[in-house]
């Protein structure tokens, strides 16, 4: 998979060179490129923002640098269309299902907004050169799209075949089957007077599977009842 990121703070993404995603890049499984949006500005101050039409607080990102950047980065036919993701608190909420869906794409472009956001016409133009998704990390407002993009790249990237060593560990995780994951324990069997549940020491795989399933349901019911009712609002 190829991922291009557009940001006015490219160094935010240095952390993606670490750990599993760093190894995936070294192994050629993930081709990640982070570009400074100011590369597509031509004035002395490399300006990417301007005052909003209609007035109001804050600045809005100008459309011209975005248009030029997308012209350069979006795949052209006959290549499959790029998926262009704009992190936005006003977008669809990112879930594990979104991550799974996006992990099948060949080319993702992330456009990180700053200030009060991006001139609305950019989204319309982007949909003429690719598939556009406005995606929110959750119902709160961040200063910019960088943190949201990093979270999405990590969630999507770990689902690309070959990134996580043992693919079975992906299947058993929270949200994969609509439930939260069961509790996990490791050695020692007693730590600070707290023991591990007996069933996990029993060697009875059927009993362990039943216990884990019960724990998943109970944990989901108490912490995230919205997942059981299908109501995620």
3-state secondary structure (DSSP) of residue 64? helix
Please tell me what DSSP assigns to residue 194: E
**Among the listed residues 3, 32, 108, 114, the single contact to ligand SAM using CB under 6 A:** 114
Within positions 70 to 99, which residues make up the interface with ligand SAM, using CB under 6 A? 87-90
Instruction: Give the β-pairing of 31-36 and 2-7.
Output: parallel
**Among the listed residues 57, 141, 171, 190, the single contact to ligand SAM using CB under 6 A:** 141
CA 209 to chain centre: 30
Q: How far is the CB of 201 from ligand SAM (least distance, A)?
A: 43
If one asks whether residue 117 binds ligand SAM (CB under 6 A), the answer comes out as yes
If one asks whether residue 144 binds ligand SAM (CB under 6 A), the answer comes out as yes
Q: Which is nearer to ligand SAM, 111 or 130 (CB)?
A: 111
Contact 35, 4 (CB under 8 A): yes
The DSSP H or E segment spanning 21 is helix 19-26
If one asks whether residue 136 binds ligand SAM (CB under 6 A), the answer comes out as yes
Residue at token pair 């406005």: 134
If one asks whether residue 112 binds ligand SAM (CB under 6 A), the answer comes out as yes
- Helices (H), ranges, 138-204: 146-157, 168-171
Q: How many residues bind ligand SAM (CB under 6 A)?
A: 19
Q: How far is the CB of 140 from ligand SAM (least distance, A)?
A: 5
If one asks whether residue 145 binds ligand SAM (CB under 6 A), the answer comes out as yes
Q: Which is nearer to ligand SAM, 120 or 168 (CB)?
A: 120
Q: How far is the CB of 144 from ligand SAM (least distance, A)?
A: 5
If one asks whether residue 156 binds ligand SAM (CB under 6 A), the answer comes out as no
CA distance 178 to 226: 10
Residue nearest to ligand SAM (CB): 113
Please tell me what DSSP assigns to residue 135: E
* Opening angle at CA 73, ends 4 and 122, nearest 5: 95
β strands within 106-181, DSSP E: 107-111, 130-136
**Among the listed residues 148, 155, 156, 159, the single contact to ligand SAM using CB under 6 A:** 148
CA distance 132 to 149: 15
Q: Which is nearer to ligand SAM, 129 or 150 (CB)?
A: 150
* Count of beta carbons in the 10 Å neighbourhood of residue 192: 5
If one asks whether residue 18 binds ligand SAM (CB under 6 A), the answer comes out as no
Which chain residues interact with ligand SAM by CB under 6 A?
87-90, 112-114, 116-117, 136-138, 140-145, 148
């Amino acid at each position: 998979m190829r991922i291009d990121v557009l940001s006015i703070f490219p160094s935010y993404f240095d952390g993606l060179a670490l750990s599993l995603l760093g190894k995936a890049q070294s192994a050629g499984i993930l081709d990640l490129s982070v570009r400074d949006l100011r590369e597509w500005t031509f004035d002395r101050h490399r300006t990417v923002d301007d005052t909003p039409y209609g007035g109001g607080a804050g600045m809005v990102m100008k459309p011209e640098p975005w248009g030029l950047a997308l012209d350069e980065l979006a795949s052209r036919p006959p290549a499959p269309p790029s998926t262009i993701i704009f992190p936005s608190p006003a977008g669809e909420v990112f879930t594990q299902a979104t991550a799974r869906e996006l992990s099948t794409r060949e080319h993702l472009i992330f456009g990180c907004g700053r200030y009060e956001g991006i001139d609305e016409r950019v989204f319309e133009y982007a949909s003429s050169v690719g598939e556009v998704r406005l995606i929110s990390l959750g119902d709160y407002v961040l200063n910019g799209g960088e943190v949201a993009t990093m979270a999405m790249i990590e969630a999507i990237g770990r689902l690309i075949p070959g990134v996580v060593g043992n693919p079975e560990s992906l299947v058993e995780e929270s949200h994969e089957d609509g439930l939260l994951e069961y509790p996990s324990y490791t050695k020692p069997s007693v730590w600070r007077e707290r023991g591990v549940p007996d069933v996990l020491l029993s060697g009875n795989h059927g009993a362990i599977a039943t216990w884990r399933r019960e724990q998943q349901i109970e944990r989901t019911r108490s912490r995230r009842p919205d997942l059981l009712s299908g109501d995620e609002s």
